[in-house]
């Protein structure tokens, strides 16, 4: 029987299994093993699995998988968790992490972990969408979907108020939108509204993971979509089911995300 050392962490309830490859010295787990690790009934249980492939003290290379075993392009909360783990391990306060979507700069400030998620992508072929549309907003049924990429595809829907947001069947509508052929690589679907204090309340249905308590890249996409529609300033708090993230869309177009991360436990996962 084989075993894998792992770390369990979460950012606002968005939870992750982190595997430090330098400790395990083994091949990447196959998809069926990843699915078992991600299962809350037959494994450890998580939204995503992040594998640290290399760590040379200033840069790390990370591969990200959803709990269904599919590879993910970006995971802001997961990257913040990995960054926090590596910075504590190396006694540093900043690090660069390479992902399939690019190199992300991370740092610690005032007990929060920050990540520069890069610039939002609006070009239809890069999101990607199946074809070009006249506007950034696609209408499906009675909903307006603001489409963009934050290293992975997002469709953001704004509801009129909190009552309307709470009425939405996140699973049914999220699955329906993900299966529309407009999104050839599926899509993360965010449902949001502006609160009385002008902060943003958001719920999410993630591709490959389903309903999660928080989504970092989704929070970034929501802030950008809100600002582009004159609903928010370029910096705002995003209130998710698991807590609060602060998103700052800088004037150079980089999107900075910050919030808390938590180490839950460490252990070994055994498999045949």
Question: Residue 217: which CATH number?
Answer: 3.10.310.10
Sequence-distant (≥ 6) Cβ neighbours of residue 45 within 8 angstroms: 15, 38, 39, 67
83 and 159 assigned to the same domain: no
For residues 171 and 238, state if they share a domain: yes
- Closest among 174, 128, 132 to 148, alpha carbons compared: 128
pLDDT < 70 stretches in the chain: 22-28, 56-58
pLDDT of residue 101: 83
Asked if 104 and 172 sit in the same domain, the reply is: no
Distance between CA 146 and CA 71 in Å, rounded? 24
User: Based on the number of CB atoms within 10 Å of its own CB, is 272 exposed (0-12), middle (13-18) or buried (19 or more)?
Assistant: exposed
Q: What's the confidence (pLDDT) of residue 21?
A: 82
The answer to whether residue 197 is domain-embedded is: yes
- pTM above threshold 0.85: yes
Per DSSP, the chain holds a count of helices (H) and strands (E) of 6, 17
DSSP H or E segment with residue 223: helix 216-228
Asked whether residue 127 is domain-assigned, the answer is no
Q: Are residues 237 and 198 in the same domain?
A: yes
User: Is residue 129 domain-resident?
Assistant: no
pLDDT at residue 260, as a whole number: 94
**In the prediction, which pLDDT does 24 show?**
58
The answer to the question of residue 11 being in a domain is yes
Residue 20's contacts (CB-CB under 8 Å, 6 or more residues apart) are 5, 7, 52, 55, 85
Q: What is the pLDDT of residue 73?
A: 80
Same domain, 242 and 175: yes
**81 classed as catalytic:** no
pLDDT for residue 1: 84
Cα 49 to Cα 7, 37, 96, distances in angstroms: 10, 8, 19
In a domain? residue 122:
no
Total number of domains constituting the chain: 2
pLDDT of residue 269: 94
* 249 in the same domain as 263: no
Residues 113 and 158 in one domain: no
CA dihedral sign, ordered 105, 86, 238, 241: positive
Regarding whether 168 and 152 lie in a shared domain, the answer is: yes
71 with 144, same domain: the answer is no
What range defines the domain where residue 247 resides?
Answer: 137-253
Same domain, 17 and 80: yes
Per the annotation, the verdict on 215 as an active-site residue is yes
CA distance 28 to 37: 13
Q: Determine the Cα–Cα distance for residues 215 and 28; give it in Å rounded to an integer.
A: 25
In a domain? residue 33: yes
Select which of 75, 81, 106, 220 is catalytic. Answer: 75
pLDDT at 8 (0 to 100): 98
Q: Which of 81, 106, 215, 220 is catalytic?
A: 215
Q: What is the pLDDT of residue 120?
A: 98
Same domain, yes or no: 146 and 84: no
> Would 60 be classed as within a structural domain?
yes
Does 110 share its domain with 9? yes
Is residue 132 in some structural domain? no
């Amino acid at each position: 029987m084989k075993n894998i050392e792992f770390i369990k962490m979460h950012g606002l309830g968005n939870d992750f299994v982190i595997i430090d490859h330098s400790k395990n010295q083994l091949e990447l787990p196959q998809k069926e093993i990843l699915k078992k690790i991600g299962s809350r009934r037959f494994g450890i249980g998580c939204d995503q699995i992040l594998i640290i492939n290399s760590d040379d003290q200033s840069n790390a290379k990370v591969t990200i998988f959803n709990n269904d075993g599919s590879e993910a392009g970006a995971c802001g909360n997961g990257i913040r968790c990995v960054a926090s783990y590596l910075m504590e391990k190396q006694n540093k306060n900043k690090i660069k992490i390479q992902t399939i979507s690019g190199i992300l700069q991370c740092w610690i400030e005032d007990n929060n972990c920050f990540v520069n998620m890069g610039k939002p992508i609006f070009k239809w072929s890069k999101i990607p969408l199946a074809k070009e549309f006249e506007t950034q907003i696609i209408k499906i049924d009675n909903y307006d979907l603001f489409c963009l990429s934050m290293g992975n595809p997002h469709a953001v829907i704004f509801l009129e108020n909190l009552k309307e947001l709470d009425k939405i069947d996140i699973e049914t509508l999220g699955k329906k939108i993900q299966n529309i052929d407009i999104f050839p690589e599926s899509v993360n679907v965010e449902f949001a509204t502006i609160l009385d204090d002008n902060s943003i309340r958001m719920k999410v249905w993630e591709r490959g993971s389903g309903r999660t308590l928080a989504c970092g890249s989704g929070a970034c996409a929501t802030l950008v979509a809100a600002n582009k529609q004159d609903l928010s300033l370029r910096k705002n708090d995003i209130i998710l089911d698991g807590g609060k993230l602060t998103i700052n869309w800088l004037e150079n177009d980089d999107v900075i995300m910050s919030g808390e991360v938590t180490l839950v436990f460490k252990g070994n996962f055994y498999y045949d």
